[in-house]
């Protein structure tokens, strides 16, 4: 009887051990499934941009943005799409953010200019909008570009030299018009300026001269292309 009793005890212990092991395995399996589901849920909620992936569910992200972005951000708690650029150096990794792809593309363009790093590019975009910067480059407007903090006249001239060949007059106006159509109905002013510049170029003036003269016309939003052309001609004569 004692031998049978010992066997029953051993079987009971074995049964308890097996139940315990099975329970642990089941819990581990459920934990693994839960982790996998959670991982893929976070993956599908990634905010993917051209250059970086921002996962708002894992950890807060420090993103540097131009000063102009802060004025256009929605109220706290609202959703916002940020287009990011990850700048990697040997001793640092910095994330820069923009509210649209155009700002991001201009930021990248500025990084290709010798002597201008991400801080300088951010300072320029904080002071001058992308469209105004393109116009300033094409019209060789050193004063406007050098108005950005940390950007002197020499740097502004170098920026104009290096970027001028990368920008085309027609494309600049097309981009500016597209941006204006999204933001407001001010594209009529851009069309009038475009027509005035094209007319001046047809008369034999260089595109840089034409752009500069048209930009100097005051209250252009209240004038049509013919009036802008007449006033621009006065500045060139």
Beta strands in 69-133 (DSSP E): 83-88, 93-98
Residue whose structure tokens are 């999204």: 182
Q: What is the CATH number of domain 53-164?
A: 1.10.150.20
Residue 43 sits at φ, ψ, to 5 deg, of -65, -45
For residue range 48-89, list pLDDT tens digits in order: 444 444 444 444 567 888 877 776 766 555 567 788 888 888
Give the whole-angstrom CA distance, residue 41 versus residue 143: 51
Q: Determine how β-strand 83-88 pairs with β-strand 63-64.
A: unpaired
Give the whole-angstrom CA distance, residue 213 versus residue 192: 13
For residue range 24-59, list pLDDT tens digits in order: 778 777 777 776 666 555 544 444 444 444 444 444
């Amino acid at each position: 009887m004692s031998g049978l009793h010992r066997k029953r005890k051993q079987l009971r212990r074995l049964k308890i051990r097996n139940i315990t092991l099975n329970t642990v395995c089941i819990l581990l399996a459920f934990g693994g499934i839960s982790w996998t589901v959670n991982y893929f849920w976070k993956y599908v909620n990634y905010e993917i941009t051209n250059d970086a992936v921002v996962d708002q569910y894992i950890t807060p992200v420090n993103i540097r943005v131009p000063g102009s972005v802060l004025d256009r951000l929605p109220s706290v708690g609202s959703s916002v799409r940020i287009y990011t650029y990850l700048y990697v150096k040997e001793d640092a990794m910095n994330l820069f953010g923009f509210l649209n792809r155009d700002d991001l593309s201009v930021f990248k363009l500025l990084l290709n200019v010798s002597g201008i790093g991400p801080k300088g590019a951010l300072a320029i975009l904080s002071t001058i909008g992308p469209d105004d910067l393109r116009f300033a480059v094409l019209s060789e407007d050193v004063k406007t570009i050098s108005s950005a903090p940390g950007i002197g006249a020499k740097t502004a001239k170098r920026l104009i030299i290096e970027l001028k060949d990368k920008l085309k007059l027609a494309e600049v106006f097309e981009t500016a018009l597209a941006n204006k159509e999204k933001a407001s109905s001010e594209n009529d002013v851009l069309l009038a300026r475009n027509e005035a510049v094209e007319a001046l170029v047809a008369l034999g003036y260089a595109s840089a001269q034409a752009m500069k003269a048209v930009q100097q016309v005051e209250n252009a939003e209240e004038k049509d292309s013919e009036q802008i052309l007449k006033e621009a001609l006065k500045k060139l004569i």
